[in-house]
Chain A
Amino acid sequence: MTAPVATFRIIIGALALLWVAVSSHPVAAQQPTAVDPTANSVNEQQLLQQFKRIQGRGSIPDTKSYTIEQPAGRDWRHFHEVTLRWIGAIAILGVLGLLVIFYLLRGMVRIESGRSGQTILRFNAAERFVHWMTATCFIILALSGLNITFGKPLLLPLMSPEAFTAWSEWAKYAHNYLSFPFTLGVILIFFTWIAGNIPNRVDVEWFRRGGGMIGHDHPPAYRFNGGQKLIYWIVVLGGSAIAVSGYLLMFPFYGTDIQTMQNAEMAHGVIAMLFIAAMLGHIYIGTIGMEGAFEAMGEGTVDINWAKEHHELWLEHDARARSNQLRTQPAATPGE
């Protein structure tokens, strides 16, 4: 019984094999001789022309790694190594040069009528604290930031690579952590002095007369003149922009992609350079540029004659407010 079944199986198997061989032959013949699997395959140069970077899908959780190529890094490199250095050098050295020339030509702006010996409160302790907290942070942030852009060409040749790394690492931490009191300072500055810093018609006149920089002119001003208002808005707006771009950099890739990070770095760098240049002017006029100016933020009081010359309207206004206060005081304390 088993032999015929086995023979039958072999015959069936052979027939099946023959059928497969015969029927598959024409199919193979239909295949084109030259197969080009790249006919519609992705092409690197085409993708780069179409998009600024090539992205795909990966199998690791780090989504940044799905960007396979971003030649824009080369542009960013050019910005960081060339453009930003030029912007910084021109802005900072330019302002420094102008200040030196101005100082040589004009010298310190004196209190023309001399000191009266009488002083008036200009900035109270809270205001001075806010100013100096922000200023201290700013100076450290500026120096540690400039180290990132100019440290390698200027500082590294003067010290060992290990020493430069140790300093740069501390500078980086200082830069990161002092950003918090700095940002707080910018916010407090905004609220502390907003009242006196709304631009008005007096400022137009002040700017028209060049702020009294040339000659012995003293255009009238309330508590803050046009130039001081300009500094205020540079600090508030520039400080906000630098804080926003800085926090984007401090928390990398939290909701940002490589392009946003590059843009944030570029914005941060340019704003910082201009900010430093503007603050050099502010430091100049607050110290060696003008007699009697530093004590406003130093001790908080200024000489009456200084106030009369530089903030005529403020002095009048303030004096009136004071005398009003004095007059109303007895009424306010009827119990005495």
Chain B
Amino acid sequence: MARMKFLCDADRCIECNACVTACKNENEVPWGINRRRVVTINDGKPGERSVSMACMHCTDAPCQAVCPVNAFYTTADGVVLHSKDICIGCGYCFYACPFGAPQYPRVGNFGSRGKMDKCTYCAGGPEPDGSAAEYEKYGANRLAEGKLPLCAEMCSTKSLLAGDGEIIAQIYKERIMKRGYGSGAWGWKTAYRETITS
């Protein structure tokens, strides 16, 4: 079974934010929620890099560990999903997440933040694959159709890679070899406890 991962090659990201837009459109993400975002480090300074970040679908995911109602589950593909029927909107997953992935439809209002929403790796939720209920709550289930997350699929510079961890790591390694540099697989050490070195 494949172990699905994301990899953002920061040396290629041009901060076009198309991944953000594609995600919002494909999954009909509500206002104020960003499952994916692009963050620029050292903006306007030498060595500036942009990284597209969403849920990294961690190994031994912290959100899953701290959830007081066990709303999370990890699929056989290594994708971390959650059930909005079980979520109580406590907000703990956001404190534990190293990547700020969990999002809430409302802020505060006496803690009634609503059901958590996050990147599903375009793999929907616990409802039957491709059902209307699944789409309404979690968005598209491209994985069930044999497709990869749209953010990575349509990345214009192929900076954002999605797919089996070993394959995308191999692609990244080859890139580093060929061009002679690489600022690293961002978040991999924190998410998967591994780094890619050529």
Contacts and interface: CB of A to CB of B under 8 A. Distances in A.
Interface of A: 34, 36-45, 47, 54-60, 62, 64-74, 76-77, 80-81, 147-149, 151-152, 156, 161-162, 164-165, 168-169, 172-173, 176-177, 249-254, 258, 261-262, 265
B181 A37 contact: yes
Nearest to A44: B184
Max chain A Cβ within 10 angstroms of own Cβ: one of B107, B111, B186: B111
B65 A81 contact: yes
A169 B85 CA distance: 11
Given A45-B184, A80-B96, A258-B95, A74 B40 contact: no
A29 to B, nearest CB: 20
B183 A41 contact: yes
8 contacts: A37-B181, A42-B49, A44-B184, A47-B41, A81-B65, A152-B68, A177-B110, A258-B100
Interface stretch (B31-39, B146-154, B159-167): B31-39
Interface string B54-91: 00000000100111111100000000000001111111
A205 to B, nearest CB: 46
B30 interface: no
Nearest to B195: A45
Interface residue range, chain B: 35 or more
Contact of A262 (B68, B95, B190): B95
Interface of B: 11, 17, 20, 32, 34, 37-43, 46-51, 53, 62, 65-71, 85-92, 94-100, 107-108, 110-113, 180-184, 186-187, 189-190
B68 A69 contact: no
B53 A162 contact: no
B40 A162 contact: no
Contact of B181 (A36, A62, A76): A36
Contacts of A162: 85-86
B66 A74 contact: no
Contacts of A165: 69, 71, 85-88
A148 B69 CA distance: 8
A208 B186 CA distance: 61
A64 B70 CA distance: 25
Contact of B66 (A60, A66, A77): A77
Given A45-B189, A73-B97, A38 B182 contact: yes
B100 A42 contact: no
Contacts of B90: 148, 172
Nearest to B44: A57
B156 to A, nearest CB: 17
